[in-house]
Structure 1
Amino acid sequence: MASPSETDAVLIVGGQLHRATTLIRSWTVLATLDNGIGVDNEEQGIPVALCERPHDPKNLWPTLRRLGRRDPVGMVAAPAPKTTT
């Protein structure tokens, strides 16, 4: 198992993807959560993305740990950014 400082990819689930994109060089939205029954809830419509090639692997995990905290930016579900490579 690689140490956090050797991380080259992470899976981001949630509305905070728009913030995580500043930390990595490329991302691909793999799916969008859908409960399949049309119930509108906090998770409905949020992206699931594979984020690769972090700018600063050593500080990636400490920064990602804060993305899900209840703050005005991290908890707002934003449209998924376009996929980059």
Structure 2
Amino acid sequence: MEMTVQMKTFHPIRSTFVDASAPHPANTQYRVSVGNEFFENVPQTVVVVQMVYNGKVEGRKSPAFPANSDDFFRVSKAANELIGSLEQGRDQ
């Protein structure tokens, strides 16, 4: 009997949190992570953004950035900083 094992596809290396603006509810953040995700069993370095409500990650909810806020800019900046920190680690 063949058994299928479902592996976690994303393995974060570094993460940071960015506060979300209204109209998101209070205590809402974006979790910005850089890590490895497997594509056809080959790990690739990727950026993942997840919504966090009251400290709980909502893995299936797509991030939404209010157009009248700087949320997207701040999340992009955080992602670039995480990518840069990985590249610095490789140079050492």
Please, what TM-score do these two structures have when normalized by structure 1? 0.29
Which has the greater radius of gyration? 2
| Higher RCO (CA 8 Å, separation ≥ 6 residues) | 1
Please, what TM-score do these two structures have when normalized by structure 2? 0.28
